[in-house]
Amino acid sequence: MTKLKITPLTQAVGSQVEGVDFSKPFDDDTVRQLRAAFDERGVLVFRGIDIDEDAQRRTVFTVIDDPFEVAERSPMLVSNKVKGGAAPYGRLLFHCDNMWARTPQPAISLYGVEVEPPGAPTLFVSMKHGWEILPKRLRKRVEGLEARHGFDDRYPNRGGDADVIDSRMVEPRSMTRPVCFSHPRTGAPLLYVSQQATIEILGLPEAENEELLEELFSYLYRPDAILSHDWHEGDLVLWDNIATQHGRGSVALQGPVRTLRKVTGPMNIAPDEQIKPIYSKVLAQE
């Protein structure tokens, strides 16, 4: 029997996992423990491992119980140095990737390919925890309300400044979901609003909308609810992109190298749908 060492990183979200053998397919005990920790803690952190893209993808697809697909050899890199790197510099506000999608993207992973300290941390919060700590009066106020997420021109980026990366796609995209959204796999209630991507809570005047969102954010983004991951080469971080939001501290264009390989779970999009974002901050083309 495989016994993993799984250590909570904060009270609200995240666990560090030790004892996983990435050199071969996971045995049943490993799969069971990883899936349980993923659903309960939202973020799994593995330190100091050496894996290729296929092993990274296998891990992602294992925890969400989806058939493993061999990767094409064109990995997505989040980097301030590699030409074509995604979100190359600046700061990212809290969000789930592609909150406008017809079905939520279930999981995301990043692997530290080349990292020079001190690097900008990736930050995580649990929307399950956000709902759990919400006062009863606020729960009652938002139950039955829906919010629209995505962008008409650019993402709203509430609380952003000139250092925040803005992004858009060619066509506007948005999706409406309940403010109290039930996780499609676990059934857990989630406080489903975000700084970056929530356009509006439907049916409210603008001033009331902004006031209510700010109050909800005050619980969701409480300092003691945030997990901050400082990157090292060989780190693998895997998170539930439905139940967990991520953000990022500011990456300097001329700062230390920060190149992370990104592998995601499947997302339900049309075959001809283009989802490559246009960033407000890009690397100079050489």
Cβ neighbours of residue 29 closer than 8 Å, sequence gap 6 or more: 1, 2, 3
| Backbone angles phi and psi of 31, in degrees to 5 | -60, -45
Domain spans, the chain: 5-267
Q: Over 70: is that where the pLDDT of 105 sits?
A: yes
Backbone angles phi, psi at 86, to 5 degrees: -75, 150
Residue 14: both structure tokens together: 């995240």
Q: What is the pLDDT of residues 200-252, one digit of tens each?
A: 999 999 999 999 999 999 999 999 999 999 999 999 999 999 999 999 999 99
Q: What would the DSSP string read from start to end of the chain?
A: ----EEEESSSSS-EEEE---TTSPPPHHHHHHHHHHHHHHSEEEE-S----HHHHHHHHHHHTT----PPPS--EEEESSSTT-BS-SEEEEEE-TTTTSSS---EEEEEEEEE-SS-PPEEEEEHHHHHHTS-HHHHHHHTT-EEEEEESSS---TT--TTBPPEE-SS-EEEEEESEEEPTTT--EEE---TTTEEEETTS-HHHHHHHHHHHHHHHT-GGG-EEE---TT-EEEEETTTEEEEEEEEPTTSS-EEEEEEE------TT-----EESS-PPP-
Are the beta carbons of 42 and 186 closer than 8 angstroms? no
Better-predicted residue by pLDDT, 171 or 79: 79
Contact residues for 176 (Cβ-Cβ < 8 A; gap 6+)? 146, 147, 148, 149, 202
In DSSP terms, 178 is beta-bridged to 146
Selected residue with higher pLDDT from 169 and 49: 49
Residue 101 has pLDDT above 70, yes or no: yes
- What CATH superfamily classification does 5-267 receive? Clavaminate synthase-like (3.60.130.10)
φ, ψ (nearest 5 deg) of residue 273: -80, 125
- Give the confidence band of 286 by pLDDT, cuts at 50, 70, 90: very low
Tell me which range, 118-122, 146-150, 171-175, is most confidently predicted by mean pLDDT.
146-150
Give the percent of the chain with pLDDT over 90. Answer: 73
* pTM recorded for the entire structure: 0.94
Q: Is there a contact between 95 and 246 (Cβ–Cβ < 8 Å)?
A: yes
